[in-house]
Amino acid sequence: MERLIKGDSVSTRRKRKTTTTTSIREKKKKKLTSSSSLPYDLLVMIVARVPRSYYRTLSLVSKSFRCMVVSPELYKVRSLLGLTETCLYVCLRFGFTCYKWYTLSSKSSDGGGYVLTRVLTLDDNSPRMMGLCYSDLVAVGSDIYNIGVADKNKTMPTSGVSILDCKTHRWRKSPRMPVELTELSATVLDRKIYVLGRRFHQDDGSWKSSFEVFNTNTQTWDLPSCGGFDSARINFLIDGKLHVVTLFDGVFAFDSKQCRWDLVEQYPSTGTMCSGSFCEVDNVLYSVSKDGALTWYDSDNTSWRDLNGLVGLPKLPSPLDGYGSYVKLTGYGGGKMMVFWNCNLGIHRPFQRDTIYCAEIALERRNGDCWGKLEWFDSMLLVPLETQFVKVLAVTL
């Protein structure tokens, strides 16, 4: 009888909570409907057709619109109408432990253009990242995965994983990695996340590279892909295949059918890859050279070549310029690439600010070469000096 009473009380509380949530949602719908004199469902249909880059402006209209632009109903309608689009999320680090998220939004002024606006998560469970060598960020669909998220009061590598839902801007936990890794490098291929890192082996006291594979469809960690490297440092995609760069053994490509690693370049020119500024667009890998020029990888000749065109693009900072100069690249769908950069070089003065810039480049293959056309570039955000780019990610919403 006591169990039944407790069970009834728990069930009653759950019903009350569900009823309360439903009633709050209904009140917001009624309030929005009354203020606009249009049925709520019709408003959702209208807002669903508005590009998401304008949702920031819509959220300023009222609290009800602010709730609508993050509602599940809105994104369900967008999906049914086939109105999904690519949106950019930028993670910046201020100081040593302060991480903030921004998204590329349209300016509310009549002049047009874009600006980076702050993303405010709707909960207090934002995971703490460990820095560039202990964690990595990747995007799959509308989710951003934080691989190697830090536990509370822990400064060493962890196996934690968290997911940011970019529709609602809420964090949720994901299954942990089977092992703890450091010096992480994660890449997405066919909705699977390939995580390369270094793992400490207790038996002989050595550090060795390890591969872990996460299936985002089943939300499970698969068996590690065959092969291992003692000096692997970074993984990326070339021609749609997973590649690994090692310090001493060359570049290897993964053959998924044969489950093996094939050597594709004995003495790689890894200087370009060490910049950490690279992305793949339409099976072509792009990066930034030591001179600050945009380059692409010619897999047929295993060499890096300059990207032609780009009339009007300012000179980008070189990866060798030192601390404070950063360039980040990401694919933007439809054969385009977005380039973000800042350069806080020179004498640091108190209260001095730095500027983050962005450029959109249309890419084209022509006669065996790659060309780029500058669509636009502009300043995006003023930040304190020594602000660092963590990652620029393209998500589908």
Mean pLDDT computed over 112-134 = 68
Q: Whole-angstrom Cα distance, residue 37 to residue 298? A: 58
**Least-confidence region, from 85-94, 176-185, 355-364:** 176-185
> What strands, in cross-sheet order, belong to the sheet with 294-298?
278-281, 284-288, 294-298, 303-306
Tell whether 153 is covered by a domain.
yes
Q: Pairing state of beta strands 251-255 and 369-384?
A: unpaired
166 and 294 co-located in one domain? no
Q: Position 350: which residue type?
A: P
Which structural domain, as residue segments, surrounds residue 319? 102-116+273-386
The Cβ-side half-sphere exposure at 23, using a 13 Å CA radius, reads: 6
Tell which wins on pLDDT, 381 or 226: 381
The helix/strand/coil state of 34 is: helix
Tell which wins on pLDDT, 103 or 319: 103
Count structural domains, the chain: 3
Alpha-carbon distances of 270 from 195, 250, 288, rounded to whole Å = 20, 9, 12
Length of the chain: 397
145 and 177 co-located in one domain? yes
Percent of the chain with pLDDT over 90: 31
Tell whether 208 is covered by a domain.
yes
Tell whether 169 is covered by a domain.
yes
Looking at residue 311, its pLDDT comes to 92
Q: Pairing state of beta strands 294-298 and 303-306?
A: antiparallel
User: In the predicted model, is pLDDT for residue 270 greater than 90?
Assistant: no
The Cβ-side half-sphere exposure at 164, using a 13 Å CA radius, reads: 30
Write out pLDDT tens, residues 31-48: 555 555 688 889 999 999
Tell whether 277 is covered by a domain.
yes
Residue 132: both structure tokens together: 């560039």
User: In the predicted model, is pLDDT for residue 228 greater than 90?
Assistant: no
Tell whether 141 is covered by a domain.
yes
263 and 278 co-located in one domain? no
Mean pLDDT computed over 332-344 = 87
Q: Whole-angstrom Cα distance, residue 144 to residue 147? A: 10
Pick from 339, 285, 337: nearest CA to 314: 339
Can you give the CATH number for the domain in which 200 is found? 2.120.10.80
146 and 267 co-located in one domain? yes
134 and 268 co-located in one domain? yes
Q: Whole-angstrom Cα distance, residue 193 to residue 232? A: 17
250 and 347 co-located in one domain? no
User: In the predicted model, is pLDDT for residue 144 greater than 90?
Assistant: yes
